[in-house]
């Protein structure tokens, strides 16, 4: 057995099972960093878009303007405004039911908000799985490698530590790789969870802004209707 204890030489000298475990852990590490880069880019872009949409809805006076000013982003803010407008149009035949209209719009916006939250968390479950299972997968490779080393000692009828040391070192490398895969996965998962929570808070703010526009438009409609009634009664007199 080779006495060169570089990680690559230990990988090449390991048995097929231990080598398979190491390959699996290396692939898990690559997946972890790929998800980290992809989700980081996605969340940075999304937060910029949410801030832009929040500013647009803050400046808008009506739902129509909110729909027009969020059209470029075509994101969750635009979908919320379209949903609010659609529900208001469906309820035009019952204009007196202002509270019912608001309740139905809130229910629709809550569904959109929940769907956006699920979309933001997509892919992070893999990080949780990697962080939870990688140490045990590495430990399995270590136990298997040590068993193989001691089996080789028994077959060779040798008791020298030099005979078993390379095999044990190769087995322990599996545990090290398990930790290398698990620790970044846990840290990255927690980081992305915090970033996702911040984005979800921004989406909740958008819901409040859309409902403010809805309330404002309904108040204008009610005021216009009452004005028409007053003018009609004055004309009748």
The residue length of the chain stands at 237
CB contact at 8 A, 146 and 168: yes
Residue closest to 116 by CA, chosen among 201, 48, 184, 218: 201
HSE of 182 in the Cβ direction (CA atoms, 13 Å)? 16
Tell me, what's the pLDDT at 212? 87
Which residue is it, tokens 């802004």?
Answer: 209
- Specify the pTM: 0.77
CB contact at 8 A, 210 and 81: yes
For residue 47, give Cα distances in angstroms to 38, 52, 194, 204, 222.
14, 9, 13, 13, 36
pLDDT per residue as tens digits for the range 74-93: 588 888 888 888 888 887 77
Tell me, what's the pLDDT at 232? 44
Residue closest to 216 by CA, chosen among 61, 95, 30, 67: 61
CB contact at 8 A, 137 and 178: yes
pLDDT per residue as tens digits for the range 101-127: 888 888 988 999 899 888 888 888 899
Tell me, what's the pLDDT at 229? 43
Q: Which residue ranges in the chain fall short of pLDDT 50? A: 1-2, 228-230, 232-234
Backbone torsion region of residue 9, taken as left when φ is above 0, otherwise alpha when ψ lies between -120 and 50, otherwise beta: alpha
Tell me, what's the pLDDT at 128? 92
CB contact at 8 A, 24 and 137: yes
């Amino acid at each position: 057995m080779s006495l060169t204890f570089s990680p690559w030489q230990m990988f090449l000298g390991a048995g097929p099972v231990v080598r398979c475990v190491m390959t699996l852990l290396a692939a898990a590490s690559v997946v972890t960093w790929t998800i980290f880069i992809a989700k980081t880019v996605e969340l940075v872009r999304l937060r910029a878009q949410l801030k832009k949409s929040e500013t647009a809805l803050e400046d808008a006076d009506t739902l129509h303007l909110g729909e027009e000013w969020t059209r470029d982003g075509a994101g969750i803010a635009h979908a919320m405004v379209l949903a609010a407008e659609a529900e208001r149009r469906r309820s035009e035949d019952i204009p007196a039911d202002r509270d019912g209209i608001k309740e139905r719009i809130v229910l629709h916006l809550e569904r959109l908000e929940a769907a956006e939250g699920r979309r933001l968390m997509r892919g992070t479950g893999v990080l949780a799985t990697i962080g939870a299972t990688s140490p045990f997968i590495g430990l399995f490779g270590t136990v298997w490698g040590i068993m193989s080393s001691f089996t080789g000692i028994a077959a060779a009828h040798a008791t020298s530590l030099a005979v078993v040391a390379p095999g044990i070192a190769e087995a322990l490398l599996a545990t090290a790789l398990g930790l290398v895969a698990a620790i970044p996965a846990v840290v990255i998962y927690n980081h992305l969870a915090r970033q996702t929570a911040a984005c979800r808070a921004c989406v909740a703010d958008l819901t409040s802004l859309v409902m403010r526009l809805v309330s404002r438009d309904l108040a204008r409609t009610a005021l216009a209707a009452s004005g028409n009634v007053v003018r009609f009664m004055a004309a009748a007199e």
